[in-house]
Structure 1
Amino acid sequence: MAGRLQFWFEFASTYSFLSAMRIEEAATARGITVEWQPFLLGPIFAAQGWTTSPFNLYPAKGRYMWRDMERLCISRGLQFHPPDPFPQNGLKAARLALVARDAGAAAAFVRSVYVSEFCLGQDISDSAVLAQCWAEAGLSPDLMTRATAPAIKTALFEQTAKAQALDLFGAPSFVAGGELFWGDDRLDEALNWAASI
């Protein structure tokens, strides 16, 4: 039986973008099934008294992160265009990701949103941008309306509550067999753990 790995991601997260672009291929190579888990970091940050990303609150950390992203994208063959503003508002995208997951197309949709945001520098709160991502993922336009349904809004709220219950404090986070791994640089360790249980 194949192992399973929960991939907790936030659309505003730079390092979640990096993980999203490689997790499926890396997981398939190890026989791991990826469970795509969108959530919102805003409530988690607010509980710590933060009103924005720590990369904005601590300028030196922010400068390091942007340069690190440039280096990593070059090494992985990814185009990189920092979005403005940062962090982006990923509420609509996260709701749509839940609908896409129900339709079996979470991976394709999530990657398309991240490419729009971090490769093309587009505003992912823009409905037209999200509609293009939706189409690129091969999803029916009719399904997009489900993102505004009360059930999906509740589901995203519950996702964030689950993230808090798991003690997630950032993104990307990976959970396998009750073990938490945080950061794109821990993806391989998380996959190896998932394969071992």
Structure 2
Amino acid sequence: MRIEALAADFGVSVAWRPFLLGPIFKKQGWNTSPFNLQPAKGRYMWCDMERQCERYGLPFQMPSPFPQNGLLAARIAFAGRDQPWIGAFSRAVYIAEFGQGLEIEDEALMADLLIEVGAPAKQALADAVSPETKIGLRAAVSEAEKLGIFGAPSFVAPNGALFWGDDRLEQALETVRASA
């Protein structure tokens, strides 16, 4: 939610690289989110998310079910990763799922969010289901694994340094700025 504004403050550009966490979790032997598998950690995570949302002035509603099927949203984001609307779309999906409790697998919702952020909804939805996007998103998962990514949000600096979580965003941006 904050990366683009903070990156601009740091003089750093952002390259969005959408991927899916589900396949990464499955390779670790998990069939769901670690927050579901570890109840104490899950309770803490939801409490922490609520605190963070309050801190940043964002709405929060625990989505049900969790995790949701984010395949369509991920495909749209992957196909649009270099488009000027990608940041706004990513934030809109987050608000829909974690701020309003909406089901992000709903194609009509995705179309509405695309229109809301000024994206060509019909074309973006068509691109999302193209064979190229499906193959590309699978490759993005493989690339995320090679980078050592295990959760989201993750930030990878040009020198390969990996930072995970909202609380590491400033440190990631400082690292990028220092290496520029």
TM interval, short-chain normalised: over 0.9
State the match for 2:71 in structure 1. 91
Pairing of 1:16-27 with structure 2 (within 5 A): 21-27=1-7
- What is aligned with 1:151? 132
Instruction: Write the distance in 2 (CA, Å) between the matches of 1:66 and 1:167.
Output: 24
The aligned residue for residue 89 of structure 2 is: 109
Q: CA deviation at 1:104?
A: 2.5
Q: CA RMSD in A?
A: 1.0
TM-score of the aligned structures, taking structure 1 as reference length: 0.87
SS in 2 for 1:92: helix
Once residues 121 and 35 of structure 2 are traced to their aligned partners in structure 1, the CA distance between those partners, rounded to angstroms, is 35
Unpaired runs of 5+ residues, structure 1, are: 1-20
Q: How far apart are the structure 2 equivalents of 1:180 and 1:38?
A: 15
Instruction: List runs of 5+ in structure 2 lacking aligned partners.
Output: none
Shift of 1:99: 2.3
The whole-number CA distance in structure 2 between the counterparts of 1:38 and 1:160 is 8
Tell which has more relative contact order, 1 or 2 (C-alpha 8 A, sep 6+): 1
Q: 1:128: Cα distance to partner?
A: 1.1
Distance 1:178 1:102 in 2: 21
Shift of 1:101: 2.1
Structure that is richer in strand per residue: 1
Could you tell me which of 155, 167, 172 is aligned with 1:185?
A: 167
Give runs of aligned pairs for residues 112-127 of structure 1, distance below 5 A.
112-127=92-107
Q: CA deviation at 1:42?
A: 1.1
Alignment partner for residue 147 of structure 2, among 149, 166, 183? 166
Partner of 1:12: none
SS in 2 for 1:163: helix
Q: Percent identity?
A: 53
Q: How does 1:58-97 map to 2 (within 5 A)?
A: 58-97=38-77
Alignment partner, residue 9 of structure 1: none
Deviation at 1:152, TM superposition (A): 0.5
Contact 2:111 2:122 in 1 (8 A): no
